[in-house]
């Protein structure tokens, strides 16, 4: 008997955990994001915002990367957004809920459950209720009453504990901790998405402001052109075709004005919501691309680091971990359940003698429970858990591939948008030189004012293209930081948590 209890205690202490042990997926073995030569530097353009950007591989990313744009207004907007945005608040609440859920479940799973009660009652009982047939002899009385009224007091303590011999409880807690990790990385993803959206929305606002200003100047130029062309037509110097051509150019430019204004209004409204305000509370300053600094030193994480730095990949990994642990939970449900139960208490008809040792009662024992027949539900549950794990594996791979695609596309965009800006700036400078030359000739009386207006129109059109190309480079830079994870791991709180 002693040997049996020794073996039982050994099993209880050691136990086991059924189901697979989770291991994070390995990072892809690739050393680059794109085929072809490694991009280390973009081309430059000969204007104030056309500086070359250098890419530094294996350099760490600041968790406040937006400060590299050197804009106090932008920093202030992001501070407002991080404080007031409801999406961030929702993610924080979800994280707190997951943490509380772990505490709620972990206590009863890891520790014994202790209950206590105190009962006081007035009772009336009869021996007839016990089923005893008491028939006194004729002419005789019973020495006791078959009916009785009395007080009854009871105080007791009960202790129960479920033995986790097959690790089902530990797997459940493992799944809950993975759920906390998921909510944490969802919060980091919300931070990253919010900051990137504020940056790109501000850049778009700055671009639209500059486009609106240049378009107004272009309209004024084309109005002068139409007036002079009409006068020349009335004098018989040119054909009706030239008037219609000038009028058509003006109307085409005027048609672009409402879309620019609408886009600007929409972006202002979007920015208001991003920082947690109503669109009617829009009070933002007028951005200009010239007020933003284009970062020229860009850090780029290695491909092997990306899977540990992208919040969306880490959240997908957490769901994969959770699904793995759920297989263990479902597997443990196939085995018997072991429980230890004990009670200790007192019964008395008077309160003053309730805790008299003679009135104590106790019991202890064990329980083994096993589901014998449930229509195959437990095995089906395990198959469901395995299928969920397979789904989480495929989802993880999908998100990982999309993350690498994001970085690859952004690196191409940095390279080719820099080339586009270079070409647009060259065209603009050519148009500007031509405008200066024709203006000088006009001042010397060698050409007419119509030629000056035509040259100015061409320059303003080229300048619009430069504005759009400039905005693309700013947006590409913000997209790079977002695609690389935004540096959340450099937050001091996250470093302390060793995440």
pLDDT the model gives residue 129: 54
Query: What local confidence, expressed as pLDDT, does residue 442 receive?
Result: 92
Instruction: Write the CA distances from 341 to 113, 364, 365, 369, integer angstroms.
Output: 10, 6, 5, 13
Cα(334)–Cα(171) distance, integer angstroms? 14
Measured distance CA(161)–CA(272) in Å, rounded:
54
Query: What pLDDT does 225 receive?
Result: 94
Angle, alpha carbons 433-44-452 (nearest 5°): 15
Q: CATH class for domain 12-131+161-336+376-496?
A: mainly alpha
- Please give the pLDDT value at position 137: 54
Give the pLDDT confidence score for residue 484 in this predicted structure: 96
In this structure, the strands spanning 54-57 and 147-163 are unpaired
Give the pair of three-digit tokens for residue 304.
């092997």
pLDDT number for residue 184: 96
The rounded distance, in Å, linking the Cα atoms of 375 and 379 is 9
User: How many alpha carbons fall within 13 Å on the CB side of residue 280?
Assistant: 0
Measured between alpha carbons, how far is 294 from 288 in angstroms, rounded to an integer?
13
**What is the pLDDT, as a whole number, of residue 496?**
46
Whose tokens are 């549950």? That residue is 381
- Cα distance between residue 177 and residue 174, in whole Å: 5
The Cα–Cα gap between 74 and 203 comes to: 10
List the chain residues with pLDDT less than 50: 1-14, 144, 496
C-beta of residue 489 within 8 angstroms of C-beta of residue 314:
no
Q: What pLDDT is attached to residue 132?
A: 53
3-state secondary structure the chain: CHHHHHHHHHHHHHCCCCCCCCCCCCCCCCCCCCCCCCCCECCCCCCCCCCCCEEEECCCCCCCHHHHHCCHHHHHHHHHHHHHCHHHHHHHHHHHHHHHHHHHHHHHHHCCEEEEEEEEEEEEEEHHHHCCCCCCCCCCCCCCCCEEEEEEEEEEEEEEEEECCCCHHHHHHHHHHHHHHHHHHHHHHHHHHHHHHHHHHHHHHHHHHHHHHHHHHHHHHHHHHHHHHHHHHHCCCCCHHHHHHHHHHHHHHHHHHHHHHHHHHHHHHHHHHHCCCCHHHCCCCCCCHHHCCCCCEEEECCHHHHHHHCHHHHHHHHHHHHHHHHHHHHHHCCCCEEEEEEEEEEEECCHHHCCCHHHEEEEEEEEEECCCCCCCHHHHHHHHHHHHHHHHHHHHHHHHHHHHHHHHHHHHHHHHHHHHHHHHHHHHHHHHHHHHHHHHHHHCCCCCHHHHHHHHHHHHHHHHHHHHHHHHHHHHHHHHHHHCCCCHHHCHHHHHCCC
The token pair that represents 495 in the structure block? 């470093």
Side by side, the strands of the sheet bearing 337-348 are 113-126, 147-163, 337-348, 360-369
Any long-range contacts for 377-382 (C-beta under 8 Å, 24+ apart)? Answer: 378/330, 378/333, 378/334, 379/334, 381/330, 381/333, 382/327, 382/330, 382/331, 382/333, 382/334
């Amino acid at each position: 008997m002693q040997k049996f209890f020794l073996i039982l205690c050994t099993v209880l202490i050691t136990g086991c955990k059924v189901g697979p042990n989770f291991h994070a997926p390995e990072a892809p073995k690739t050393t680059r994001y794109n085929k072809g030569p490694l991009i280390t530097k973009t081309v430059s353009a000969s204007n104030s915002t056309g500086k070359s950007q250098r890419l530094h591989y294996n350099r760490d990313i600041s968790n406040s990367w937006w400060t590299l744009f050197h804009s106090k207004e932008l920093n202030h907007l992001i501070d407002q957004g991080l404080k007031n945005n409801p999406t961030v608040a929702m993610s924080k609440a979800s994280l707190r809920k997951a943490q509380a859920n772990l505490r709620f479940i972990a206590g009863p799973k890891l520790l014994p459950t202790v209950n206590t009660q105190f009962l006081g009652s007035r009772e009336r009982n009869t021996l007839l209720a016990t089923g005893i047939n008491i028939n006194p002899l004729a002419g005789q009385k019973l020495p006791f009453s078959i009916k009785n009224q009395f007080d009854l007091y009871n105080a007791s303590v009960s202790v129960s504990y479920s033995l986790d011999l097959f690790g089902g409880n530990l797997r459940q807690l493992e799944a809950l901790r993975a759920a906390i990790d998921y909510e944490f990385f969802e919060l980091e993803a919300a931070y990253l998405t919010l900051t990137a959206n504020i940056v790109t929305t501000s850049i778009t606002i700055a671009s639209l402001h500059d486009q609106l200003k240049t378009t107004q100047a272009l309209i004024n130029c084309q109005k002068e052109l139409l007036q002079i062309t009409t006068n020349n037509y009335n004098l018989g110097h040119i054909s009706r075709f030239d008037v219609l051509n000038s009028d058509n150019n003006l109307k085409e430019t005027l048609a672009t004005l409402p879309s620019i204004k609408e886009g600007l209004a929409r972006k202002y409204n979007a920015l208001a919501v991003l920082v947690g305000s109503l669109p009617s509370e829009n009070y933002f300053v007028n951005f200009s691309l010239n007020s933003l600094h284009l970062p020229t030193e860009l850090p780029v994480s290695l491909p092997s680091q990306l899977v540990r730095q992208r919040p969306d990949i880490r959240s997908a990994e957490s769901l994969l971990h959770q699904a793995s642990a759920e297989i263990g939970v479902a597997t443990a449900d196939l085995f018997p359940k072991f429980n230890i139960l004990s009670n200790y208490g007192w019964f008395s008809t008077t309160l003053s003698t309730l805790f008299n040792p003679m009135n104590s009662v106790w019991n202890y024992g064990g329980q083994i429970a096993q589901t014998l027949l449930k229509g195959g539900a437990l095995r089906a549950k395990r198959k469901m858990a395995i299928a969920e794990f397979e789904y989480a594996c495929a989802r993880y791979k999908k998100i990982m591939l999309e993350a690498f695609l994001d970085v690859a596309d952004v690196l191409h965009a940095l390279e080719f948008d820099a080339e586009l800006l270079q070409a647009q700036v060259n065209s603009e400078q050519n148009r500007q030189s031509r405008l200066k030359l024709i203006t000088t000739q006009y001042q010397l009386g060698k050409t007419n004012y119509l030629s000056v207006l035509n040259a100015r129109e061409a320059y303003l059109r080229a300048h619009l293209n430069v504005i759009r190309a400039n905005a693309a480079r700013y947006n590409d830079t913000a997209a790079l930081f977002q695609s690389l994870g935004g540096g959340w791991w450099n937050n001091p709180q996250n470093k302390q948590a060793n995440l």
